[in-house]
């Protein structure tokens, strides 16, 4: 599997829940890199998969794919239909 920045993954899989494994922090770029392990439209399924993996594939995390019609400002979510 190829290492990819978690921010790229969020843009690549909109409206999906992604489990990333083998996470590493890149000190030079200050980005967290990892490998995409599992993709689902179901949040609970993604978290269950991450919990079941534990540390068997290094550190893991679940991220939600970016919705291009939604933005966040100061913790507030703003929605747009455009």
Per-residue pLDDT tens for 8-44? 998 899 999 999 999 998 888 888 999 999 999 999 9
Q: How many residues are recorded in the chain?
A: 82
Q: What is the pLDDT of residue 30?
A: 87
Residue 15's SS3 state is: coil
What is the C-alpha separation between 51 and 68, in angstroms, rounded? Answer: 28
Other Cβ atoms closer than 10 A to 62: 17
pTM value? 0.77
When pLDDT is averaged across residues 44-55 and rounded to a whole number, the result is 93
Spatial contact of 80 and 27, defined as CB atoms under 8 Å apart: no
Q: What is the pLDDT of residue 27?
A: 86
What is the C-alpha separation between 66 and 60, in angstroms, rounded? Answer: 19
Other Cβ atoms closer than 10 A to 47: 14
Q: What is the pLDDT of residue 17?
A: 94
């Amino acid at each position: 599997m190829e290492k990819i920045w978690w921010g790229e993954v969020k843009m690549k899989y909109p409206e999906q829940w992604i489990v990333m494994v083998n996470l590493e922090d890149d000190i030079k770029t200050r980005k967290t890199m990892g490998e995409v392990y599992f993709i689902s439209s179901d949040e609970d399924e993604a978290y269950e998969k991450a919990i079941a993996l534990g540390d068997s594939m290094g550190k893991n995390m679940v991220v939600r794919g970016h919705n291009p019609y939604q933005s966040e400002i100061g913790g507030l979510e703003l929605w747009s239909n455009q």
